[in-house]
Amino acid sequence: MLKAFADLSTPLVADACVRLGVSLRIAPPGIRAVDPGHRLAGRALPVRHYGSVDVFLEAFGAAEPGDVLVVDNGGRTDEACVGDLTALEAKAAGVAGLVVWGLHRDTSELTDIALPVFSYGSNPSGPVRLDAQEPEALTSARFATHLVSREDMVFADEDGVLFVGAEHVEEVLATALRIRDTEREQADRVRAGDTLRRQTSFEEYMARRASDPEYTFRKHLRRTGGAIEE
């Protein structure tokens, strides 16, 4: 999956979801890679954190190569829930990386380990609580308003993190590739002096919008083959 995502981006995947009418499930703003430039793509391995590392160790027992550990820590900012030992164990289990709805610690060590970890940021304190474990602890993870399961794929890069149902992934990635090719061609033409206004027949759009207020630029782009908005 990471190979298929190699020449794409989360904005392209998001645009493909919009174009196809696939639910757009984006992690909250602020989730970023510990080591800038890291990217992730793989099947979700969901887990809910309750204050102890044991739930991660249990999850790794069911991991398959290339899985992405999706950690639900409720978006908490008073504790870090993953660190260097969790990342090392994830790597040993064949996990491709971690996406955390919460914070991490051991930043220097995580950088050395070089396993992609995405979180809100760092906190030196680990958890001092131990909550009761829910029955769904290893079957789904909440990520803000989204519920992520083994039926989801995870994509992450410099622009953020999003989740796509596995049943839609093939079509979404194929559409994202087409959008990428269109946008690259448009960018090359702008660099060569052919402005985006000319490429999109913007004057024609303005004239038609004047007589038809319901004629949106998005409709116009779809008719003319542009891709700058989705």
Binding residues for substrate: 105
A 10 A CB-CB count for 66 gives 17
Going by the annotation, the residues of the binding site are 105-106
Going by the annotation, the residues of the binding site for Mg(2+) are 106
Alpha carbon distance 118, 123 (integer Å): 14
Nearest CA to 30 out of 165, 158, 164 is that of: 158
Q: How buried is residue 30: exposed, middle or buried, by Cβ count under 10 Å (0-12/13-18/19+)? A: exposed
Contacts of 127 (CB under 8 A, 6+ apart): 49, 51, 52, 79, 80, 81
Contacts of 88 (CB under 8 A, 6+ apart): 113, 115
